[in-house]
Structure 1
Amino acid sequence: MSKETENPAAENPEELLDLTLTAPKKWAAGIPAVNAAMVDVIGEAGVVRGMEALFHMNKKGGFDCSSCAWPDPDDDRSPIAEYCENGAKALAEEATTKKLTAEFFAQNSVADLAKLNDYEIGKKGRIAQPVYLPKGGTHYQAISWDLAFKKIAEQLNSLTSPNEAAFYTSGRTSNEASFMYQLFVREFGTNNMPDCSNMCHESTSAALAEVIGIGKGTVKLEDFYDTDVIMIIGQNPGTNHPRMLSALQKGKENGAKIIAVNPLFEAGLMGFRNPQQVKGVLGITTQLADLYLQVKINGDMALIKAIEKLLYAAEVEHPGTVFDHELIKNKTIGYTAFLHHLEKYNVDELAVEAGVPVRQIKEAAEMLKNKSRIIICWAMGVTQHVNGVDTIKEIVNLTMLKGSIGKPGAGLCPVRGHSNVQGNRTMMIYDKPYEKQLDKLKEIFGFEPPRNHGYDVVDTIKAMNDGKLKVFFAMGGNFLSATPDTLYTAEGMRKMKLTVNISTKLNRSHLVHGEESIILPTLARSDKDIVRGEVQLVSCENSMGVIQMSKGVLDPISDNLLNETRIVCELAKATLGSRSVVDWDKYAKNYDEVRNVIERVIPGFDNYNKRVREPGGFYLPNAAREGKFETDDYDNKVPFTLTELPEHKLADDEYMMTSIRSHDQFNTTIYGLDDRYRGVHNERRVIFMNRKDIQKGGFKEGDQVDLFNYHGGRERVARLFVIVPYNIPERNTAAYYPETNVLVPIDSVAIKSNTPTSKLIFIKIKKHVPQN
């Protein structure tokens, strides 16, 4: 038996579950969402523990949800439930009373655990003590914290260069832990800091930083309540950011129109039954999307250009009434060149490329024509494409034409995925740090930080396989399941001398490992973090730049857990020893000290300790929100960008596939095996296809198939999927990740951001061939 068979990198089952299908939903939330949330929370944590946590989640003075980064209201928050179904399920995962002790690991080998699917692995429970897998070992075994730190330090200090180690960060990590983490890594001597942003909104950061001067959105939550048009592109809020539905409902009640742009008709974009309102409980649905534009996969660029063409024609017909010429004149450059560039496109041809009828594009343009209070939202459906950066720049072009920035009810809204992924970047978790940031570290701490750029996620995986890395350290997350080209990533992981994961629960990244492996168990957001007898607070940054406190309320399931900040500080002491110039003990014992030094290093954190304790927290500075653009390369103006349409040429037997989440998951964490909004139950290994494609391809509903990608001349295969007919454009398909990440080529990335192109994978579909 091969090592890969004994220790599989990804699910490749030869048996399917009992799949059942129902009609897709046309609305989201309602009583079913409440029931699903309660079943998970009470089932995992019990009534008393579960309800205690739910009552404090996302409340002022409580703890921040570890799920998505949608902001909490600045004003009054719900007295009933300031959380959504998926937030409750995320809480259930960490508040569970099930725990993994040394006895569990003694009874379960790594090879046996790796044969489980991701759902089964995640449901085992919380890791209760540090564990160590020795070289050649088959089972993790208990290890003391001191010995774990010693072993990690020995491996790090034995490296020929600090650049032979990479330090990953997940979006769950608090601001305080993230800052100390980057401080340790840089004093150690490397900028190899891949993070989860590399795989999601890196395209956003790259595009917006260049053209508006800040790599973040420009709106506040309150802007959704009083706006004219909300355009949602490549995002499924009903599943990925359910609390956004409440904001959309408020906007609708105040007269806003909503344009949805997505290859699939998603329940959360069509209707909302608010479970906190009587009419929602009674089953009365608020219609959300006034216009639903079902684009082809990656047809967004063509759609936006077509809308711009129609708006420009209206501006020519009625000069000065459609475009904001004052903003264009005073705040932008390149307008004339942009118009010349736009002239080469034809609306009819753009409509074909977008996959949207011209009449619907005209309807969208008409909705935007006489409005300037426009909010444009987007997520992975835009960012994870080769042209992701350019598509976002085209969104900015449209925004500037309409003057939809720097005013209430208008602006750019990239909707971040994980709860503190934006805060990680603010805390300098970045493989390409700015010189002024490094200069500040040198000024405050007195050491010379490394200046060369480090590895991002894709570069890290390549460096593993090329023998350039020896140690991989992960602060949270499930690196293997989250990353592209799963088997290639697994090959790289197995080449490591040491892999280390700071984790709350077991995941596949613990089971595909280096010669040695260590798991360091840490506290969850909902856990009380007690230091010197006092419950500590940490802080996070949401999608709209609000810094707010998070303070756990539950007793941890084990006395042998350490908070992330202390883990970093203890590791730094063990690794750097007397050569360190940082007082690690001071920061490990008092998070206020961490915040005091953050205030000195990072702009916008004045009076950090005082302001973070104020109910609701505080906003970070955002010049673009005020209509000021700190774009030094463009004289503090926003450049109109000249972008080109992507070209997609398909062979006769080839399809475009986009990876999607089910409603029962968050990122790589699988809560259950149902996707009730799309009508899929008790199975995840499905591929959604247009009925015409099923017939043309010689398939039928329910056929078992294997999916293949041949990018770069290498065969990648995801085995045993079931064909499900669905309302999706022809030659377009969709399937869930992480099961399909094995198909995402490591060298298919977004230009400039290096983000894996997980939302557009070219595949061939063949009848399933059982493996011996």
Structure 2
Amino acid sequence: MSKREVPGVGPYGGPAGGWGALQAVARALKHQMGVAREATMLLKVNQPAGFDCPGCAWPDPRSTSSFEFCENGAKAVSWEATTKRTTPEFFAQHKVRELWDWSDHALEDEGRLTHPMRYDADSDHYVPVSWDEAFERIGAALRALPDPNMAEFYTSGRASNEAAFLYQLFARRFGTNNFPDCSNMCHEPTSVGLPEAIGVGKGTVTLADFDHCDAIFCIGHNPGTNHPRMLATLRSAARRGAKIVVLNPLRERGLERFASPQDPVEMVTGRSTPIATDYIQLRIGGDVAFLKGMMKTVLALDRDSISKGGEGVLDRAFIDAHTEGLEEVIADLDATAWSEIVNASGVERADIEHVGKLYAGSKAVIACYGMGVTQHHSGTANVQQIVNLLLMRGNMGRDGAGICPLRGHSNVQGDRTVGITEVPPVDMLDSIERVFGFSPPREHGHGAITAIEAMRDGRSKALICLGGNLPVAMSDTKVCFDAMRKLDLAVHVSTKLNRSHLLTAKETLILPCLGRTELDVQASGPQSVTVEDSMSMVHASRGSLPPASEHLLSEPAIVARMAKATLDDDSLDWDGWVADYSRIRGLIEAVFPQFDGYNERIQDPGGFRLFNAAAARQWNTPAGRARFIAHRGVMMDPRLDRDDALILATIRSHDQYNTTIYGFNDRYRGITGRRDVVFVNERDLEARGLQHGDLVDLETIESTVSIGGTRRLCGLTAVAFDIAPGSIAAYYPEANCLVSLADNDPRSGTPSYKSIPVLLSLSQGDCEVSADAQTWQHGDVPNDKTGATVAAEMPAHRRTTGTPS
């Protein structure tokens, strides 16, 4: 099929990185704050005396260079350190109803918030409010709740350890363990699945392990966009001959080839380094099946070796000394037919066996995975199957081997470490009681989905958000928006305006805070905060820019003042802790022994690593052993039995970080100036009588757990793309409206953003709101004329002022 020309859609022939990355950085700097000022800031990103990048959680090398930032890190810095300001005068000029029709990009692109603001329903405007009055209002509203469990305390993963620790202390002293946070929406299958299997909820590898492995498996992640600094690590491994095996439904340029902007030879000559030695495009949701096929291959090789008098392929010394449960996994593998595996994975048996043999022939293997593994109905099972594969060959707890979950937010792992969890460990609660002299609540609290359900049903009436954009990030757009509007109190601690702020409650407050790039001065002087990366390294971060406004407070200060206004308790020294953050770190050390010597150890330019028991082959499981965990069958969604069914995954663009939209280009996928597209295999288009460039509708296939019937997203442009047959992809969060709140991994509660069975058809133009309408509805989302579908509320472009760069 010859492709018609489609506006904003075209091929991209270059590598990841290279001159394209440098040009994108220059555009971001110019648009936000000017090249000279920003260039000075970029030299301080991820440096020992500088600040931690507010982007991804990829670790810093022990010996830093002058440039430890990537393209998307530069975008994140420029987005926060912008010279643009959102002032009280701006709010006086625009009603909330008007702002609702702006795109998410336009809202944040207005710049940094400068004053605390309160929503005035009579005028439909945000109006200035003093800090004292803001805290008085928050305290009064929280104290008026009949039950502390009617309050939800949401946390973004960009909050520092110090802010997060005070936040969880405030909420638990208030009387609740309701801690919905961004982990619930991304890596909760890791937090649930890994402790059951290896006794810790974190990855086991360090950055140094990538220098010693001979194979890296990249499963369900896209480093070119979501953690670009990883590309330098993969490039180094590829250049020394390590095998890099990619399992991903889409062809992603960052996993194919990379030109390092710091390599003068590659930049001058136009050369690049190939990354993947093998690239397998499995079907979306086919992870369990493919991993079982690999394990069946390893098992067959082992049996063949034993039958010929060899030592076998399994690491029996490790298995006998450190594990349990292998027999059950072997029984399940033997019971799983190759035909099931091939059908569910979409990969031929010979290709699966080839990858299985590569794994079996490698001495030290690292398995990296992202949300392409976790955001499924089978997310926890996916994680545990990766563990099963690694345990078979002893690839856990030794040099060059282990598991590597790729976290998103820069401190999402640290927030969980210091107590942001709705399922609090008993020993942590005991330590809080010992250190602070009160008995914290013991019952489990709400995660993200159960929090939205409680808000929807009127069982929760207050929401405090320490950063983030919760209702936009969540699944089931209409339910989340309606739930927000039912609240008595909504508080947003933010650096910029976002759509959550426009979902007003009876009392809604925006509290502007310092960013990671800004100087934080308290009573004892300039302060540092600390963060934990995805490999358990904890290090200090100190901004240096003057604050965007003299009216900003730090996150720890805001949390402390909310606590003081709410709690009738003089025993907790909130003012003293905020005066000197080293005192907060002392409290963290007192509650969590693994932080022993916290203040001294962060003086090391590279920080320190928290002890990881599984990395030392100490298994904190009930039996004191790592566990093989069987999951029956290939876990294929029965809705995909239909011949016309496709499975949709939501994905991020290259001009995006979670719900933050920096611009409308997705360079590596050839998309320019738009987001209203769906990526489809050319054969799947032909089978439906469609072609590249057609306007199409997506309709979900109803399941037994879906609530509210089928859902529709209309008027997307079909883009023929190199994606596995049977799989399609659309942008997050625009496609969140297709995921029912009830469609999630039942073990972890993570929404199945990447497991959406859908039908694809030529657009009928019968939706009241479509993808090209470029607008959200201020009130309820209207159903279409059948009354059984939900239309999207997400705009594609900026409508009101200017043109995005």
The TM-score, its normalising length taken from structure 1, stands at 0.95
414-423 vs 33-42, greater mean Cα deviation:
33-42
The partner residue of 1:68 within 24, 37, 56 is 56
Distance (Å, rounded) in 2 between the aligned partners of 1:398 and 1:770? 46
Distance (Å, rounded) in 1 between the aligned partners of 2:670 and 2:102? 25
Alignment check: 8 A CA contact 1:476 1:503 kept: yes
Q: Deviation above 4 Å: which 4+ runs of structure 1?
A: none
Structure 2 counterpart of 1:645, which letter?
Answer: V
Distance (Å, rounded) in 2 between the aligned partners of 1:639 and 1:321? 19
Distance (Å, rounded) in 1 between the aligned partners of 2:144 and 2:631? 49
Distance (Å, rounded) in 1 between the aligned partners of 2:715 and 2:485? 25
Q: 1:733 to 1:746 in 2, by over 3 A?
A: same
SS in 2 for 1:20: coil
SS in 1 for 2:399: coil
Structure 1 counterpart of 2:551, which letter?
Answer: N
Alignment check: 8 A CA contact 1:302 1:351 kept: yes
193-202 vs 654-663, greater mean Cα deviation:
654-663
Counterpart position of 1:4: none
Q: Do structure 1's residue 358 and structure 2's residue 349 form an aligned pair?
A: yes
Aligned-pair CA distance for 1:627:
1.6
- The alignment covers a number of residue pairs equal to 751
SS in 2 for 1:733: strand
SS in 2 for 1:599: helix
Distance (Å, rounded) in 2 between the aligned partners of 1:498 and 1:428? 24
Aligned-pair CA distance for 1:533:
6.5
Counterpart position of 1:56: 44
Structure 2 counterpart of 1:72, which letter?
Answer: D
Distance (Å, rounded) in 1 between the aligned partners of 2:673 and 2:296? 46
SS in 2 for 1:302: helix
Structure 1 counterpart of 2:74, which letter?
Answer: A
Alignment check: 8 A CA contact 1:19 1:683 kept: no
Q: Do structure 1's residue 591 and structure 2's residue 581 form an aligned pair?
A: yes
343-352 vs 558-567, greater mean Cα deviation:
343-352
Distance (Å, rounded) in 2 between the aligned partners of 1:762 and 1:439? 45
Structure 1 counterpart of 2:468, which letter?
Answer: G
Structure 1 counterpart of 2:681, which letter?
Answer: N
Alignment check: 8 A CA contact 1:130 1:520 kept: yes
Counterpart position of 1:563: 554
Q: Do structure 1's residue 44 and structure 2's residue 40 form an aligned pair?
A: no
Counterpart position of 1:737: 732
The partner residue of 2:633 within 644, 654, 669 is 644
Distance (Å, rounded) in 1 between the aligned partners of 2:624 and 2:687? 55
Mapping of residues 292-307 of structure 1, within 5 Å: 292-307=279-294
SS in 1 for 2:47: coil
Q: 1:267 to 1:356 in 2, by over 3 A?
A: same
SS in 1 for 2:679: strand
Aligned-pair CA distance for 1:368:
1.4
Aligned-pair CA distance for 1:287:
0.6
Write the deviation string for residues 498-540 of structure 1: whole angstroms up to 9, x where unpaired: 1110000111101112122100000110011111262210000
SS in 1 for 2:595: coil
SS in 2 for 1:569: helix
Q: Which runs of 5 or more structure 2 residues have no equivalent in the other structure?
A: 1-5, 770-805
Percent identical among aligned pairs is 42
Q: 1:262 to 1:511 in 2, by over 3 A?
A: same
Mapping of residues 300-699 of structure 1, within 5 Å: 300-319=287-306, 320-532=311-523, 534-577=525-568, 579-631=569-621, 633-648=622-637, 649-650=639-640, 651-699=642-690
Q: Do structure 1's residue 20 and structure 2's residue 8 form an aligned pair?
A: yes
SS in 2 for 1:659: strand
Write the deviation string for residues 686-737 of structure 1: whole angstroms up to 9, x where unpaired: 0111222222223332222332334345232323311111122223110001
SS in 1 for 2:464: strand
Alignment check: 8 A CA contact 2:340 2:634 kept: no
Alignment check: 8 A CA contact 1:114 1:508 kept: yes
Q: Do structure 1's residue 724 and structure 2's residue 719 form an aligned pair?
A: yes
Write the deviation string for residues 75-134 of structure 1: whole angstroms up to 9, x where unpaired: x1122x101100000001100011111100000111111101111112111000100003
Structure 2 counterpart of 1:641, which letter?
Answer: A
Q: 1:675 to 1:300 in 2, by over 3 A?
A: same
Write the deviation string for residues 300-353 of structure 1: whole angstroms up to 9, x where unpaired: 111111111111111111132411000010101122232222111233441232
Distance (Å, rounded) in 1 between the aligned partners of 2:150 and 2:668? 45
Distance (Å, rounded) in 2 between the aligned partners of 1:713 and 1:93? 37
Distance (Å, rounded) in 2 between the aligned partners of 1:93 and 1:604? 34
Distance (Å, rounded) in 2 between the aligned partners of 1:764 and 1:359? 30
Q: 1:516 to 1:253 in 2, by over 3 A?
A: same
Counterpart position of 2:196: 210
Counterpart position of 2:250: 264
Aligned-pair CA distance for 1:278:
1.8
Aligned-pair CA distance for 1:157:
0.5
Write the deviation string for residues 405-437 of structure 1: whole angstroms up to 9, x where unpaired: 111100000000110000000010001101111
Q: 1:553 to 1:643 in 2, by over 3 A?
A: farther
Alignment check: 8 A CA contact 2:679 2:728 kept: yes
SS in 2 for 1:663: coil
Q: Do structure 1's residue 163 and structure 2's residue 149 form an aligned pair?
A: yes
Alignment check: 8 A CA contact 1:19 1:680 kept: no
The alignment's C-alpha RMSD in Å is 1.4
The partner residue of 1:759 within 737, 742, 754 is 754
Distance (Å, rounded) in 2 between the aligned partners of 1:26 and 1:222? 29
The TM-score, its normalising length taken from structure 2, stands at 0.91
Distance (Å, rounded) in 2 between the aligned partners of 1:690 and 1:524? 42
Aligned-pair CA distance for 1:26:
6.2
Distance (Å, rounded) in 2 between the aligned partners of 1:408 and 1:96? 42
Write the deviation string for residues 265-316 of structure 1: whole angstroms up to 9, x where unpaired: 1001111101100232132111110001100001111111111111111111
Write the deviation string for residues 198-252 of structure 1: whole angstroms up to 9, x where unpaired: 0000001100011100000000011112211000101011111100000011111
Alignment check: 8 A CA contact 2:328 2:630 kept: no
